[in-house]
Structure 1
Amino acid sequence: MWSWVAHRVTGVLIFFFLFAHVIDTALVRVSPEAYDETIEIYKNPIVSVMEYGLVAAILFHALNGLRIVAVDFWEKGPRYQKQMFWIVMGIWVVLMAGAAYPILNHAFREVFGS
């Protein structure tokens, strides 16, 4: 049940990110200066942490979506859905660990001045 809730929540979060992304990218047509100011706002450690959260949401949503497809279209899927969930979580943790340094390195460099 929690994977169902997390799948919906991550889907909504991704939708809102895409909405905001379209809006801020559209600013370049209205006012290049406003676009540049918006991009400068994004260059801070808090946004880097939010980017890591976005990667977490996208990866979970994608991997869990593949699990849902397997449950729906594989005849043995419902029997193995719990095991597939834990496999998805394991893959997700490994991928998030791999994404931590490239994404958060910039944030910590800004905070600690390295």
Structure 2
Amino acid sequence: MWSWVLHRITGATIFFFLFVHVLDTALVRVSPQAYNEVIETYKTPLIGLMEIGLVVAVLYHALNGVRVILIDFWQHGARYQRVMLWVVVGVFLAIFIPSLGIIGMHMAERFL
């Protein structure tokens, strides 16, 4: 149940990010100066934390999406859905922890 809810929340979050990203990227055609001002507002520690949240959302959404596909199209998917959820959690942590270290180093470089 919670995996379903989190999948929907992360999907909506990714959609919102992509929508804003397309809008602010399109701003460069209208006014390069305004585009530069918008980009400068993104260079804050708060936005850095939001980028970490985006990594979490994309990673979870992708891994859980593969799990949902397996449940739907694999003959034994429904039987192993709980096991696959724990595999998703394990793979998520195996990828996210090193990613967090890399992002943390870049944030420390930028903000300290």
TM-score range, shorter chain: over 0.9
Match of 1:84 in 2: 84
Task: Answer 1 or 2: higher relative contact order, Cα 8 Å, separation at least 6.
Answer: 1
Percent of pairs with identical residues? 54
Residue by residue over 1:33-72, the C-alpha shift from the partner in whole angstroms, topping out at 9 and shown as x without a partner, is: 0001111111111111111110110010000000000000
Cα distance in 2 for partners of 1:106, 1:98 equals 13
Is contact 1:67–1:81 with CA below 8 Å preserved after alignment? yes
Residue by residue over 1:63-102, the C-alpha shift from the partner in whole angstroms, topping out at 9 and shown as x without a partner, is: 0000000000001000000000000011001111011122
Match of 1:24 in 2: 24
Structure 2: segments with no counterpart, 5+ residues: none
Cα distance in 2 for partners of 1:42, 1:104 equals 16
Cα distance in 2 for partners of 1:61, 1:103 equals 19
Q: TM-score, normalised by structure 2?
A: 0.95
Q: Aligned pair 1:56/2:56, yes or no?
A: yes
Instruction: Indicate the SS of the match to 1:76.
Output: coil
Match of 2:37 in 1: 37
Q: How much does 1:9 deviate?
A: 0.3
Amino acid corresponding to residue 47 of structure 2 in structure 1: V
Match of 1:97 in 2: 97
Instruction: Indicate the SS of the match to 2:17.
Output: helix
Q: TM-score, normalised by structure 1?
A: 0.93
Is contact 1:10–1:61 with CA below 8 Å preserved after alignment? yes
Cα distance in 1 for partners of 2:51, 2:17 equals 10
